[in-house]
Amino acid sequence: MDKSRVDDALANLTALIARLPGLGPRSARRVLLYLMKNRETMLKPLLAALQKVDSSLVSCVVCGNLDTTTPCRICTDQKRDPALLCVVADVSDLWALERGRLFPGRYHVLGGTLSAFDGVGPEELGIDRLLARLPGPPPVEEVVLAMNATLEGQTTAHVIAEQLEGRGVKVTQLAHGVPVGGELDYLDEGTLAQALRLRRPLG
């Protein structure tokens, strides 16, 4: 392979790495350089792990979590309380809560938040799928709205709470131990645990 094609390949890879959350062009170049210097111990194992994930990762048909099986291991865990359902915007939020096994129930991943600017409405989030899960069996008794403390997150929580009115389900949301503007994926387990303990009725 000639030098120009190698340069193009490296530039393309740097651009792709720079699109990862929390990374920019400079950080991407440092990551790429580190991988190239450590091909045997980092680059090749990383490539193998990515290929394995790509071939085996699926979206859970029940909750929307990412796992190697569907329904996922959380949905099929008999030790979890099926009467408790925690609604989160993204899989990253579910994983944040699961880092410390903080929630004893099951989850529902919306796949985003409501945004008029981006054209994301209740239909795009599949809120109807959430409502369809409530009767069970067994029936859901409490829905915990674990939305980010952002305008979009709180708007989404409000709309879902309205949809749940009159369905005989207790609706709570995380206490604001979650800072305004904060995202669940960046919070420590202590803050998340406190927010879950202090959840309160919504409305």
What digits encode the pLDDT tens for the residues 20-35?
A: 988 889 999 999 999 9
What digits encode the pLDDT tens for the residues 125-166?
A: 878 899 999 998 889 999 999 998 788 888 899 999 999 999
Q: CA quadruple 64, 67, 71, 76: dihedral positive or negative? A: negative
Q: Residue 143 in 3-state DSSP?
A: strand
> Which has the closest alpha carbon to 14: 25, 23, 6, 22?
25
Taken in order of first residue, the domains within the chain and their CATH numbers are 3-56 (1.10.8), 66-201 (3.40.1360.10)
Q: What pTM did the predictor assign?
A: 0.74
| Residue range 171-182: mean pLDDT, rounded | 75
Residues 185, 188: Cα–Cα separation, whole Å = 8
Q: Is the pLDDT assigned to residue 16 strictly greater than 70?
A: yes
